C-alpha cells in the first residue's frame, strides 16, 4: 500500500516506511493519483518542480526516481516508452481504497443495510493519518466530505440520532448552503426531540439560499420541513437515574464503542476495573447513547450496606412499590414481591438496566440478574464492578487504564484539560506530564486528583511528592462520592472486600513492581495463613486488585502502583516486613543464578525474555539490599542486571551503579554464588577499561585473581573469560593459553578462545588469522545455538572483512549481527550495527541501499519502546554516575554523528560532493570533535573519513584544524587494555599522510601512506580507502616517489610499520 492521506508512506513487508524529502513525496503522489497510467518525464518534472525546474531536469528526475525505487517494493515502479508508472492496483493506494469503500458504502446504504454502510465508512475514514500534502488535498477532501455525509446518513438510518447529531452539525457548518447536510441535521435534531431547532435550520437554509443564489430549498427539503411542522416531536423515551456529563469524557471513545458492541450481543455486560478507573462515567455515557432507542434505568448500589437491599434499590429507582402501579399506559396488577414487580416491568418492553458499583453486594446482584435474564429476553443489563457477577449470561469488559504512550496520549490530555480548568496559566511540560501520568498508572481518578493540585503546585513538584501519593491526592470536590475523595479511600473500599488470606497475599506481593508469576507468589507469600496462594490470587483478580497477562514467559500478575503503595502500608503495619524481605532475597537470588546458568549454557535468548520480565523486580530488590547493606545480594543481582544493561547498550546504567557495587564486592563477595561473582567483576572491568579507568580495572583484576584462586565451581566459559582478563595482554603465556582453550571439551570455552584470538589478530592487522578464527568461533556458536555469540562474532568478522576491503562480505556479516541482536532485543546495539551495515553497503557501491537504511534509522522507524530508564539512585551518585551521564551523551552524539556521516558518504559517492563534505563537517560538530573524549573509537574513524573525503576532493585545507587535533590525541587509537590498535593507527596515518601530501610535508605524507598500507589501516568509509589516497598522491608527487615509498614499506613488518607511524606523528 502507498499512503498519501497524511504523511506520504509506502508499506514494505508489512511495515510503513515514510518517504523522506518533499520532491520524492511529490513524485510518488503524482504517480499514485493515477496508478497504472504512465506519466511522461516532462509531466512529472512539472509536478515535482512546479514553476522552478532544476538546472538539469531529467537528471534530477532520474535521481528522485532512483530514490523512490528503493522505498517501494521491487517492481512497483516501472519505466517505459511512455514514461513512468506505478504497477499497482487503485486499491493499493489509500486514496483509491477510500474511494472503493465510499462506493461500497453508498451501495449498502441504498439497500438499507445501514450498519454495513457505517462499518465501511469507519474503515475508510481510518485511512486518513493526518493532513495530506497540497497536491492531494482537493481530491482527498472531496472523498472525505462524501464519507462524512454517508456516516451521518447511516447513523440516521440506524436511528442513532444522538450519535449522528455532532457529525451532522459539523457537515452543515462546512457549507451552510449544502441542502443534503442541512436536511440530515434537521432529521438528527428532530430525532433527539428538538423539532424547533430543526425548523430553525430550515429557516436559515432558506434565507442563505435566497441571499446567495436567489433560490428556494428543494421540494424534498421543503417537504421534510412540513413533516416536522405537522408532527409533534418524537416521544422522548424515559430515562431514570442518568446524569448529564459534567465535562468531556476523554480517551474512552474506543472503550465505549467496544462495550456498546458487547451490549448488542450479550444479555449481561460487566465493565470490570479497579476503583477510579472511570467505570461510572462510562456507564452514564453508554446509558445516554442507548436512551435514543430504549428506556434506560441507572441504579446506584454503592450506598447499600446489605445485599438484601439490591432488589429494593432497583425498585425504588424505578418508582415501584408493592401497591398497584402503572407504567406508561400499561396497568399492572398487584404482585407479591419486589422481585416479581421487577420481572413484570422489564417484560413489557425492551430496555437497558444499568447497575453501578456492584462489587460489595455481588452475590445478591447475581441472583437478581439471573432472575431477570431467565424471565424475559427484553432486558439488557450493564453492570460496573470491581469483580465479575459470575452469571452464565455475562460478558466481561476489563476496562484498561488510559493510554499513556507519548506526550499526546489520552492520559496526558486528561491531566492537561483538568489542570488548566483549575489554573489556566499553569506551565505544562509534556514530558513531565507524561511521566506523572505513567507513575499514576493512567488511572483517571488519580490523574484528576493530581491535576487538581496544580492550583498551588507545579507538575514537577507533584511528581517528586508522589511517593506519598495518598497524602497528596485528595479532593475538596463535594460532588464526589466519599469513596472517591481520596485515593486512599478508593483502595480502602476494595481492601475491605477481601478476606484475610487475600489481604495477606496482597501485602506480601506488593514489592514486585514488574509483576510476578505463580512460582514467585508461592515463594514470597505462601506461608502461615496463606496455604494455597493460587486461590488467593484468584480472589485478588476477581476484585480487580490484580490484572493477569499472558506473556512470553507465561502468565504474570500485575498490581497498580497505587495498590502496591497501599500494600506497603499494610505490610508495615503487619510486622511481616522482615520475613517478606528474606523471601524476596531468596527468590531473586534463585532467579539470578538461573539466568547466569542460562547464559553460560548457551541459552541467552531464553534468559533475555526472563530478565526482561523480571528487570524492574530485580532492580528494586538490588536497591533494597544496598540500602540495608546486604552486599552479597547486591553483587548477585548486579551480575545479571549489569550484563543485561551492557547487552542493551545501557552502559551508563552500569556506571551509575559501579561505585556502590565495587564497594560491596569485598564485603559481600564471599557469600555471592560463584558464577554471579565472576560475572559481576567481568562487567565492571569491561566498563572501567573502556572508560580508561585503569586504576579501577587493576583493583577488579586483583579481586578476580583471588576469586579464581579460591572458587572451584565457576562455569568453564566464565572462568576462561576471567583468566583472560587477569592475564597480561602482551604476556607470552596468553597465546599458549588460547591455543589450549581452542581444544577444550567445553564449546563455550572454544568459542570464546577463537573470538579472543580473532580480535587480537585483527588489532595487529593479521586479517587472514582473524577471519579464520572468527569463522571457527561462528561455527561453534551456531552449533550451540548461542545467539549472542553468533551476533558478536559476526560483528568481529564484518570488521575484519571491512579492513580487508571486502565491503560486500562485511555487509552480510553486519546484517547477520544486527538481525541476531534485534532477535535478542538488544535494539540499541542492533541499530548501531545497522549504521555500520549502511556504511559497508555504501562502500560496496550499493549506495541507494545504504542511503535507504540510513534514512530508516534516522526516522526512528526501527526504534523500540524498551528502556531500562535511569536505575541508579542518584541522591549521592559519586564519580561513576558522572561517567555514566557522559557515556549517555557520548552515545547519543555518536549515533547522530554516524548517521550524518553515512549520509555524507552516500552523497559524495553519488557525486553530490559539496553537500557530502558539508555533512561530514556537520557530523564532526555533532560528535563533539575535538572536545569529545576517547570513549568512542568511532569518532576517530569519522575524523579520518571526513579528512579523507576533503583531501580526495581538493578541499584539504578546510581540515587543517581537524588534522592537528587528530595527531595531538594519540590515545584515541588505543583499545581498552592499553595496547595499540594497528589498523586504527593505520587509518590515522592514511588521513594525515594524504593531507600532508597536499598541504604539508610531502615526503612525510608518502611515508605515512606507505606505512598505512602495510599496517592495513581501517577502511570503514569509501573516503578511507588507501588505494584512492595512493592514487591521489601519485597525481601530485609522481609515480616514482610513491612507488619507492611503497616498496620500502613492503619490506618491513606490521609492527615496524607501526613504529614508522609513531615516529612520524607526535604521539608516544
Better pLDDT: 171 or 815: 815
Number of helices (H) and strands (E), helices first, in the chain? 48, 15
**How many CA atoms, within 13 angstroms, populate the side-chain half-sphere of residue 516?**
29
Comparing C-alpha atoms, which of 617, 855, 846, 648 is closest to residue 20?
Answer: 855
* Long-range contacts of residues 464-471, Cβ cutoff 8 Å, at least 24 apart: 466/436, 466/439, 466/440, 469/440, 469/562, 469/565, 470/565, 470/566, 470/569
Angle CA 1020–1024–1025, to nearest 5: 95
Better pLDDT: 106 or 129: 106
* 460-464, 525-529, 934-938, 1041-1045: the lowest-pLDDT one: 934-938
Task: Categorize the per-residue pLDDT at 236 as very low, low, confident or very high, splitting at 50, 70 and 90.
Answer: very low
* 434-443, 463-472, 536-545: the lowest-pLDDT one: 463-472
Better pLDDT: 405 or 527: 527
Q: How do residues 737-769 score in pLDDT, each as one tens digit?
A: 999 999 999 999 999 999 999 999 998 888 999
- Alpha-carbon distance of 680 to 699, in angstroms, equals 13
Task: Categorize the per-residue pLDDT at 956 as very low, low, confident or very high, splitting at 50, 70 and 90.
Answer: very high
* 410-414, 659-663, 796-800, 903-907: the lowest-pLDDT one: 659-663
Question: Which architecture characterizes domain 498-574 according to CATH?
Answer: Orthogonal Bundle (1.10)
DSSP codes joined into one string, 469-489? HHHH-B---TTS-GGGSBHHH
Determine contact, residues 304/360, Cβ cutoff 8 Å: yes
Q: Which three cell numbers stand for residue 107?
A: 451501495
* 188-192, 360-364, 939-943, 950-954: the lowest-pLDDT one: 188-192
Distances (CA, A) of 199 to 153, 204, 227: 19, 9, 10
Answer left, alpha or beta for residue 745, where phi above 0 means left and psi between -120 and 50 means alpha: alpha
Answer left, alpha or beta for residue 869, where phi above 0 means left and psi between -120 and 50 means alpha: left
Q: Taking residues 79-103, what's their average pLDDT?
A: 83
- Alpha-carbon distance of 19 to 780, in angstroms, equals 41
Instruction: State the average pLDDT for the chain.
Output: 84
pLDDT for the residue numbered 468: 65
Answer left, alpha or beta for residue 406, where phi above 0 means left and psi between -120 and 50 means alpha: left
DSSP for residue 559: -
- Alpha-carbon distance of 180 to 149, in angstroms, equals 8
Task: Categorize the per-residue pLDDT at 453 as very low, low, confident or very high, splitting at 50, 70 and 90.
Answer: confident
Backbone φ, ψ for residue 419 (5° rounding):
-65, -45
- Alpha-carbon distance of 661 to 682, in angstroms, equals 12
Cα 367 from chain centroid (whole Å):
45
Q: How do residues 645-666 score in pLDDT, each as one tens digit?
A: 888 777 788 888 888 888 887 7
DSSP for residue 93: B
- Alpha-carbon distance of 128 to 133, in angstroms, equals 12
CATH fold, domain 2-92, is: Arc Repressor Mutant, subunit A (1.10.10)
- Alpha-carbon distance of 580 to 510, in angstroms, equals 10
Instruction: Round to the nearest angstrom and report the end-to-end CA distance of the chain.
Output: 59
The CATH number of 729-863 is 1.25.40.10
Helix (H, G, I), strand (E, B) or coil at 239: strand
Q: Which three cell numbers stand for residue 451?
A: 491535576
Determine contact, residues 799/762, Cβ cutoff 8 Å: yes
Determine contact, residues 960/999, Cβ cutoff 8 Å: yes
Expressed in percent and rounded to 5, the helix, strand and coil fractions of the chain are 65, 5, 30
Count of CB atoms situated within 10 Å of the CB of 479 = 8
Asked if the peptide bond before residue 930 counts as cis, ω within 30 degrees of 0, the response is: yes
- Alpha-carbon distance of 749 to 762, in angstroms, equals 20
Q: Is the whole model's pTM more than 0.75, yes or no? A: no
Angle CA 690–696–700, to nearest 5: 100
pLDDT for the residue numbered 774: 96
Determine contact, residues 792/756, Cβ cutoff 8 Å: no
Q: How do residues 189-218 score in pLDDT, each as one tens digit?
A: 888 878 888 889 888 888 888 888 888 888
What is the domain partition of the chain in residue ranges?
A: 2-92, 239-398, 410-488, 498-574, 576-726, 729-863, 880-1064
Q: How do residues 28-69 score in pLDDT, each as one tens digit?
A: 878 877 777 888 888 888 887 887 777 777 777 777 777 777
Q: Using N-to-C axis directions, what is the helix angle for 878-909 and 847-858, rounded to 10°?
A: 140
Q: Which three cell numbers stand for residue 174?
A: 462546512
Answer left, alpha or beta for residue 867, where phi above 0 means left and psi between -120 and 50 means alpha: beta
Strand 379-385, strand 268-272: pairing? parallel
Question: Which architecture characterizes domain 576-726 according to CATH?
Answer: Alpha Horseshoe (1.25)
Helix (H, G, I), strand (E, B) or coil at 6: coil
Q: How do residues 961-1007 score in pLDDT, each as one tens digit?
A: 888 888 876 544 444 445 678 888 899 999 999 999 998 889 999 99
Helix (H, G, I), strand (E, B) or coil at 38: coil
pLDDT for the residue numbered 367: 92
pLDDT for the residue numbered 750: 96
Residue with cell 606507505: 1010
Angle CA 224–229–233, to nearest 5: 100
The H or E element spanning position 17 is strand 15-18
Fold equal for 2-92 and 576-726: no
pLDDT for the residue numbered 230: 72
DSSP codes joined into one string, 874-914? TTS-HHHHHHHHHHHHHHHHHHHHHHHHHHHHHHHHTT-HH
| Highest CATH level, class, for 239-398 | alpha beta
Portion of the chain with pLDDT greater than 90, in percent: 31
- Alpha-carbon distance of 776 to 881, in angstroms, equals 39
Task: Categorize the per-residue pLDDT at 860 as very low, low, confident or very high, splitting at 50, 70 and 90.
Answer: low
Q: Burial of 240 by CB count in 10 Å (0-12 exposed, 13-18 middle, 19+ buried)? A: middle
Residue with cell 437497558: 352
Q: Tell me: pLDDT of 477 over 90.
A: no
- Alpha-carbon distance of 167 to 854, in angstroms, equals 43
Q: Tell me: pLDDT of 334 over 70.
A: no
Q: Which three cell numbers stand for residue 1041?
A: 616517489
Distances (CA, A) of 122 to 97, 136, 245: 13, 21, 26
- Alpha-carbon distance of 711 to 719, in angstroms, equals 10
Q: Which three cell numbers stand for residue 261?
A: 458492541
Determine contact, residues 360/337, Cβ cutoff 8 Å: no
Distances (CA, A) of 689 to 662, 808, 843, 1015: 14, 32, 31, 25
Comparing C-alpha atoms, which of 686, 620, 585, 588 is closest to residue 872?
Answer: 620
Amino acid at each position: 500500500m502507498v499512503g498519501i492521506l497524511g504523511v506520504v508512506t509506502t508499506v514494505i513487508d508489512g511495515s510503513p516506511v515514510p518517504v523522506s524529502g518533499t520532491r520524492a513525496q511529490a513524485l510518488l503522489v503524482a504517480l499514485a493519483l493515477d496508478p497504472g497510467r504512465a506519466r511522461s518525464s516532462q509531466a512529472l518534472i512539472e509536478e515535482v518542480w512546479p514553476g522552478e525546474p532544476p538546472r538539469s531536469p531529467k537528471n534530477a528526475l532520474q535521481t528522485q526516481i532512483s530514490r523512490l525505487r528503493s522505498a517501494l517494493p521491487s517492481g512497483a515502479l516501472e519505466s517505459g516508452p511512455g514514461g513512468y508508472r506505478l504497477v499497482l492496483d487503485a486499491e493499493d493506494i489509500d486514496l483509491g481504497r477510500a474511494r472503493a469503500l465510499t462506493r461500497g458504502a453508498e451501495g449498502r446504504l441504498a439497500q438499507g443495510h445501514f450498519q454495513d454502510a457505517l462499518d465501511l465508512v469507519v474503515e475508510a475514514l481510518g485511512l486518513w493519518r493526518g493532513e495530506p500534502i497540497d497536491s492531494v488535498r482537493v481530491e482527498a477532501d472531496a472523498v472525505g466530505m462524501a464519507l462524512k455525509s454517508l456516516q451521518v446518513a447511516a447513523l440516521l438510518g440506524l436511528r442513532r440520532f444522538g450519535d449522528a447529531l455532532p457529525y451532522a452539525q459539523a457537515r452543515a457548518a462546512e457549507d451552510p448552503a449544502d441542502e443534503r447536510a442541512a436536511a440530515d441535521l434537521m432529521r438528527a435534531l428532530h430525532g433527539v426531540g428538538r423539532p424547533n431547532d430543526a425548523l430553525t435550520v430550515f429557516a436559515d437554509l432558506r434565507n442563505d439560499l435566497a441571499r446567495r443564489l436567489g433560490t428556494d430549498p428543494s421540494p424534498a427539503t421543503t417537504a421534510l420541513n412540513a413533516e416536522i411542522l405537522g408532527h409533534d416531536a418524537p416521544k422522548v423515551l424515559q430515562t431514570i437515574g442518568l446524569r448529564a456529563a459534567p465535562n468531556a469524557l476523554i480517551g474512552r471513545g474506543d472503550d465505549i464503542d467496544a462495550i456498546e458492541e458487547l451490549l448488542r450481543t450479550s444479555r449481561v455486560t460487566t465493565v470490570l476495573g479497579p476503583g477510579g478507573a472511570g467505570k461510572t462515567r462510562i456507564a452514564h455515557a453508554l446509558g445516554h447513547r442507548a436512551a435514543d432507542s430504549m428506556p434506560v434505568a441507572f441504579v446506584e448500589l454503592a450506598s447499600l450496606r446489605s445485599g438484601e437491599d439490591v432488589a429494593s434499590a432497583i425498585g425504588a429507582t424505578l418508582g415501584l412499590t408493592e401497591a398497584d402501579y402503572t407504567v406508561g399506559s400499561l396497568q399492572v396488577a398487584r404482585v407479591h414481591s419486589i422481585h416479581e414487580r421487577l420481572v413484570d416491568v422489564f417484560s413489557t418492553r425492551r430496555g437497558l438496566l444499568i447497575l453501578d458499583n456492584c462489587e460489595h453486594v455481588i452475590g445478591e446482584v447475581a441472583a437478581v440478574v439471573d432472575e431477570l435474564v431467565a424471565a424475559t429476553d427484553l432486558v439488557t443489563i450493564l453492570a460496573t464492578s470491581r469483580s465479575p457477577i459470575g452469571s452464565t449470561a455475562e460478558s466481561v469488559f476489563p476496562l484498561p487504564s488510559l493510554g499513556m504512550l507519548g506526550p499526546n496520549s489520552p492520559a496526558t490530555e486528561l491531566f492537561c484539560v483538568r489542570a488548566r480548568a483549575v489554573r489556566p496559566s499553569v506551565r505544562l511540560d509534556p514530558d513531565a506530564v507524561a511521566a506523572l501520568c505513567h507513575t499514576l498508572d493512567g488511572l483517571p481518578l488519580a490523574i484528576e486528583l493530581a491535576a487538581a493540585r496544580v492550583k498551588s503546585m507545579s507538575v514537577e513538584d507533584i511528581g517528586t511528592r508522589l511517593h506519598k501519593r495518598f497524602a497528596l491526592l485528595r479532593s475538596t470536590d463535594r460532588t464526589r462520592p466519599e469513596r472517591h475523595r481520596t485515593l486512599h479511600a478508593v483502595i480502602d473500599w476494595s481492601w475491605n472486600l477481601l478476606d484475610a488470606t487475600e489481604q495477606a497475599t496482597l501485602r506480601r506481593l506488593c514489592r514486585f513492581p514488574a509483576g510476578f508469576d505463580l512460582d514467585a507468589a508461592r515463594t514470597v507469600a505462601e506461608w502461615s495463613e496463606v496455604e494455597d496462594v493460587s486461590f488467593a490470587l484468584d480472589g485478588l483478580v476477581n476484585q480487580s486488585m490484580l490484572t493477569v497477562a499472558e506473556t512470553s514467559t507465561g502468565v504474570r500478575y500485575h498490581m497498580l502502583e497505587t495498590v502496591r503503595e497501599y500494600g506497603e502500608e499494610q505490610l508495615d503495619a503487619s510486622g511481616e516486613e522482615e520475613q517478606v524481605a528474606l523471601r524476596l532475597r531468596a527468590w531473586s537470588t534463585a532467579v539470578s543464578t538461573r539466568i547466569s546458568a542460562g547464559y553460560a549454557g548457551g541459552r541467552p535468548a531464553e534468559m533475555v525474555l526472563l530478565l526482561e520480565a523480571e528487570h524492574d523486580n530485580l532492580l528494586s530488590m538490588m536497591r533494597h539490599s544496598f540500602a540495608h547493606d546486604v552486599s552479597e545480594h547486591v553483587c548477585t543481582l548486579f551480575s545479571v542486571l549489569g550484563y543485561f544493561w551492557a547487552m542493551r547498550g545501557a552502559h551508563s546504567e552500569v556506571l551509575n551503579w559501579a561505585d556502590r557495587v565495587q564497594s560491596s564486592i569485598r564485603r559481600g563477595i564471599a557469600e555471592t554464588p560463584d558464577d554471579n561473582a565472576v560475572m559481576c567483576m567481568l562487567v565492571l572491568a569491561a566498563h572501567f577499561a573502556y572508560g580508561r579507568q585503569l586504576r579501577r580495572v587493576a583493583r577488579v583484576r586483583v579481586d578476580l585473581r583471588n576469586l579464581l584462586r579460591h572458587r572451584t565451581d565457576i562455569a568453564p566459559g566464565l572462568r576462561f573469560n576471567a583468566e583472560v582478563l587477569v592475564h597480561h595482554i602482551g604476556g607470552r603465556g596468553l597465546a599458549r593459553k588460547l591455543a589450549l582453550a581452542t581444544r577444550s571439551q567445553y564449546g563455550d570455552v572454544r568459542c570464546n578462545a577463537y573470538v579472543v584470538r580473532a580480535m587480537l589478530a585483527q588489532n595487529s592487522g593479521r586479517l587472514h588469522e582473524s577471519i579464520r578464527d572468527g569463522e571457527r568461533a561462528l561455527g561453534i556458536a551456531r552449533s550451540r545455538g548461542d545467539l549472542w555469540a553468533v551476533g558478536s562474532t559476526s560483528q568481529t568478522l564484518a570488521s575484519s572483512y571491512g579492513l580487508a576491503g571486502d565491503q560486500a562480505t562485511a555487509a552480510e556479516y553486519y546484517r547477520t549481527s544486527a538481525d541476531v541482536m534485534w532477535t535478542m532485543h538488544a535494539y540499541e546495539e542492533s541499530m548501531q550495527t545497522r549504521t555500520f551495515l549502511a556504511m559497508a553497503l555504501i562502500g560496496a557501491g550499493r549506495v541507494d541501499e545504504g542511503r535507504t537504511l540510513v534514512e530508516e534509522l534516522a526516522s526512528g522507524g526501527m526504534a523500540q519502546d524498551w528502556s531500562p530508564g535511569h536505575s541508579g539512585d542518584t541522591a549521592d551518585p559519586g564519580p561513576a554516575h558522572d561517567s555514566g551521564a557522559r557515556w549517555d551523551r557520548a552515545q547519543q552524539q555518536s549515533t547522530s554523528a554516524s548517521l550524518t556521516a553515512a549520509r555524507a558518504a552516500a552523497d559524495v559517492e553519488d557525486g553530490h560532493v559539496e553537500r557530502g563534505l558539508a555533512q561530514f563537517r556537520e557530523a564532526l560538530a555533532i560528535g563533539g570533535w575535538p572536545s569529545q573524549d576517547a570513549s568512542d573509537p568511532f569518532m576517530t574513524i569519522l575524523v579520518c573519513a571526513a579528512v579523507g573525503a576533503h583531501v580526495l576532493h581538493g578541499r584539504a585545507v578546510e581540515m587543517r584544524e581537524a588534522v592537528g587535533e587528530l595527531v595531538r590525541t594519540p590515545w584515541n587509537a588505543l583499545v581498552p587494555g592499553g595496547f595499540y590498535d594497528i589498523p586504527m593507527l593505520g587509518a590515522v596515518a592514511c588521513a594525515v599522510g594524504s593531507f600532508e601530501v597536499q598541504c604539508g610535508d610531502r615526503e612525510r605524507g608518502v611515508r605515512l601512506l606507505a606505512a598505512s598500507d602495510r599496517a592495513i589501516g581501517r577502511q570503514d568509509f569509501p573516503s578511507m580507502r588507501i588505494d584512492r589516497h595512493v592514487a591521489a598522491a601519485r597525481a601530485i608527487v609522481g609515480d616514482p616517489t610513491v612507488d619507492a615509498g611503497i616498496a620500502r614499506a613492503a619490506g618491513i613488518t606490521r609492527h615496524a610499520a607501526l613504529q614508522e607511524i609513531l615516529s612520524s606523528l607526535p604521539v608516544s
